[in-house]
Chain A
Amino acid sequence: MIEITKENIDKLFAKLDSDTRKSSYFLNPDSDFTRELVEGLIANESRYGYQACPCRLAAGDRNEDIDIICPCDYRDADLDDFGACYCALYVSKDIAEGKTTAQPLPDRRPVKREERPQFREKKVGKGYSELSHPVWRCRVCGYLAARDEPPGVCPICKATKDRFDRFM
């Protein structure tokens, strides 16, 4: 079980910092704010076994919470619409460069369980029978992979294999 120590916070912070640099996402430049969120992620990993969103109440069951495992399924839409994710761990380029600051925003996670991305009815695109491989879509960032199985980890947003849906 991971412990909430300064060393573990530093380590995860450095990892997220390096991951975001490689994938053109941006962490909140207010490093105190960001470190507090990283601490929240570690606290959740320690009690639930995965990094559930620090600003939402987790159920403690991976499949129930999979849409709010960080980065959550709602991050990219919130970045598009508000320039920050719900927690403001991830922000737009403008905010990262200090042109504006992150503001609190409404939570877009559906209240109704059956409307959440992992429980919603999935439609598979037609025409797949003509393709040489099935196509998988990452629910977090939309990355598409044409291969027999989804990748173990999304190369763009680092979401795990169980967060991919069959797309075509």
Chain B
Amino acid sequence: MKYEHIGGINKGKVMLFALSTCVWCKRTKQLLNTLGVEYDYIFVDQLQSAEKQETMGELEKWNPRCSFPTLVINDDKCIVGFKEDEIRAVLG
């Protein structure tokens, strides 16, 4: 799957499931950029159907609602939605 990689400070594995049109997703990305952490992201709406299904399957494991943005940290902690304080507490 084509996750985009953004270089930065290594705080573990940081994965962002997002939509290209969603402004809360954009704010989450901007926050990660501001914090300067290393992360990978994927715009699920831009995937072809097979890839989309596979990615949604992965997302569902973390967030059964499959809503965006969903941030998964170290294959362990999952933050759904642009929860600025929570994201800062974990990655700041």
Q: Which of A's residues lie within 8 Å of B, judged by CB? A: 33, 36-37, 39-41, 43-44, 54-58, 87-88, 104-107, 111
Q: Do residues B81 and A54 form an inter-chain contact, with CB atoms below 8 A?
A: no
Q: Do residues B81 and A33 form an inter-chain contact, with CB atoms below 8 A?
A: no
> Chain B: how many interface residues by the 8 Å CB criterion?
19
Among B25-57, those with CB < 8 Å from A are: 25-26, 44-45, 56
Q: Do residues B19 and A55 form an inter-chain contact, with CB atoms below 8 A?
A: yes
Name the residue in A36, A40, A43, A111 with the highest tally of chain B Cβ atoms < 10 Å from its Cβ. Answer: A40
Instruction: Determine chain B's interface SS by DSSP, over half rule.
Output: loop
Q: Do residues A57 and B68 form an inter-chain contact, with CB atoms below 8 A?
A: yes
Contacts of A55 in B (CB 8 A): 19, 21-25, 68
B50 to chain A minimum Cβ distance, whole angstroms, is 14
CB within 8 Å for A40 and B23 given contacts A57-B44, A104-B82: yes
CB within 8 Å for A58 and B64 given contacts A43-B20, A88-B23, A104-B81: no
Contacts of A111 in B (CB 8 A): 64-66
Contacts of A41 in B (CB 8 A): 21
**Interchain CA distance A106-B23 in the complex, whole Å:** 15
Q: Which of B's residues lie within 8 Å of A, judged by CB? A: 19-26, 44-45, 56, 64-68, 81-83
Contacts of A104 in B (CB 8 A): 24, 81-83
Contacts of A37 in B (CB 8 A): 23
**Interchain CA distance A111-B20 in the complex, whole Å:** 21
Q: Output the nearest chain A residue to B82 by Cβ-Cβ distance.
A: A104
Tell me which of A54, A58, A105 contacts B23 (CB under 8 A).
A54
Q: Do residues A57 and B45 form an inter-chain contact, with CB atoms below 8 A?
A: yes
Tell me which of A43, A88, A107 contacts B21 (CB under 8 A).
A43
